[in-house]
Every structure is written in C-alpha cells, then in structure tokens.
Amino acid sequence: MSYFVEIRPRELKPALLELDGISRATVEAHYRLYQGYVGKRNEILGALASVDLGAANQIYSEVRALKIDLTFAVGGIKNHEIYFEHLGGAGGDPDDAIAALIERDFGSADAWRADLRATGMAGRGWAWTAFDWDEGRLFNYVGDAQNTFPVWNATPLVALDVYEHAYFLDYQTDRAAYIEAFLRNLDWGIVNGWVDSYSIPTE
Ligand SMILES: [Fe+2]
C-alpha cells in the first residue's frame, strides 16, 4: 500500500456563485485558493515520501518544514470544505438540533451570534463554532491561520473565514459587514446534517 495518495478538490456547489452579499468573483478566487491547498497537500506528501529517513540528522529540519506546511495545507482544506459546504442557505436563526445546542450552550441565538461576531473580529483567520466532545458542549474558538488553533476532540460545525481574501473585494476593510453577509448565507440544514451524522448528543 502506498503511503502517499493524492486527493482532489471537492466541486464548488452552484449555489455558492449566487450568495447574498458575497460576490461570484470573491467565491471563485476563494475556491482557487482552496484548490491550491489541495495541490500543496499532495505536493508535500510527495516530498515527504521521497525523503530518505535513514539519512543523517540534517533531514530533520526538512522534515519539520514539510510537516508544518502539511498542517497548514490540510487545515486550509478542512476549513474551506466546511466553509463552502455550509454557505448557500437562507441564514436566519438556527433551527432544529443546532438551535437546541446553541440555546443550551450560549443562552440564545443572539448571544451565540454576538460571541461569533466578536471572535471573528478578533481573529486573524477563522472563528469556529465547534462541539467539544470532552466538555460535551459548543464553543466559539478563534483561529489565526489554517493550522492555528484547532482543538483536539472538537468537531467544527460553523467555520467563519475572516481572512481578507474572504471579503476584501466586496467590503474592503469592512469585516463586520462581511460577517453579517456570512450569517445571511448560512445553510442550517447542512449544519444539522453534521450534528446528525457525527451523532452529536443534543441533550
Ligand atoms: Fe479562506
């Protein structure tokens, strides 16, 4: 069996080209960036497969650089797959299982939104609403880059990209306006599908 298997980017859903307040040009450029992370991941694993692990100590700096770059590329893939998958909906208040989780763990949808907005404004790259399996509850975690700061044993359910590439074309420096547009396009049906498929307990 081969250690190194290439993966391919997921297709972009057509609904992503017709978002409310996030332009087609932004989404297309953003999708190309995601494709780049997939290419990078494949390239890095190819490079790692060709490193002679039996060689002298100087390979360790090379292995270190490749492994760190791998976390960035794989983070970029996972983050963007969540982001693209759960946009294209009608936004509004959460419903069904995710609404119950949000109400229980944040008090209300408004309180969750306020915390996510603040996390998104504070972060340099991402804000994630994730279910932490160890505490059995949701948190809004902050991310500065593709590989910082995911938390072990937590499952992201909402991924708000706040890198400038997500909004600069449409909003220049007005990140707050972009965050409102993100919320208007969330597809809660997709998020509820994840709650169900990951068997996240709602009580
Ligand atoms: Fe992004």
Cα 163 to ligand 1 centroid, rounded to whole Å: 6
Question: What is the band of 1 on the pLDDT scale with cuts at 50, 70, 90?
Answer: very low
DSSP state for residue 136 in the 8-state scheme: T
Q: What are the structure tokens assigned to 138, written together?
A: 């949701």
**89 vs 188: CA distance, rounded Å:** 7
Determine contact, residues 123/164, Cβ cutoff 8 Å.
no
Taking only the tens place, the pLDDT of each residue in 142-188 is 999 999 999 999 999 999 999 999 999 999 999 999 999 999 999 99
Question: What is the band of 4 on the pLDDT scale with cuts at 50, 70, 90?
Answer: confident
Taking only the tens place, the pLDDT of each residue in 49-106 is 988 887 767 688 899 999 999 999 999 999 999 999 999 999 999 999 999 999 999 9
CA distances from 45 to 26, 35, 71, 189 (A): 29, 16, 11, 34
Cα 84 to ligand 1 centroid, rounded to whole Å: 10
What is the Cα 43 distance to its own chain's centre?
21
**146 vs 65: CA distance, rounded Å:** 15
Q: Is the pLDDT of residue 15 over 90?
A: yes
Cα 59 to ligand 1 centroid, rounded to whole Å: 32
For range 19-36, the mean pLDDT: 98
Q: Is the pLDDT of residue 44 over 90?
A: yes
Which residue's entry shows tokens 């909003």? 171
**172 vs 177: CA distance, rounded Å:** 10
Taking only the tens place, the pLDDT of each residue in 115-139 is 999 999 999 999 999 999 999 999 9
CA distances from 56 to 52, 65, 168 (A): 9, 16, 46
**147 vs 69: CA distance, rounded Å:** 9
Q: Is the peptide bond before 149 cis (omega within 30 degrees of 0)?
A: yes
Residue (of 114, 110, 119, 104) closest to 160 by Cα position: 119
Cα 134 to ligand 1 centroid, rounded to whole Å: 28
CA-based angle 85:134:182, to the nearest 5? 25
Q: What are the structure tokens assigned to 72, written together?
A: 């960035």
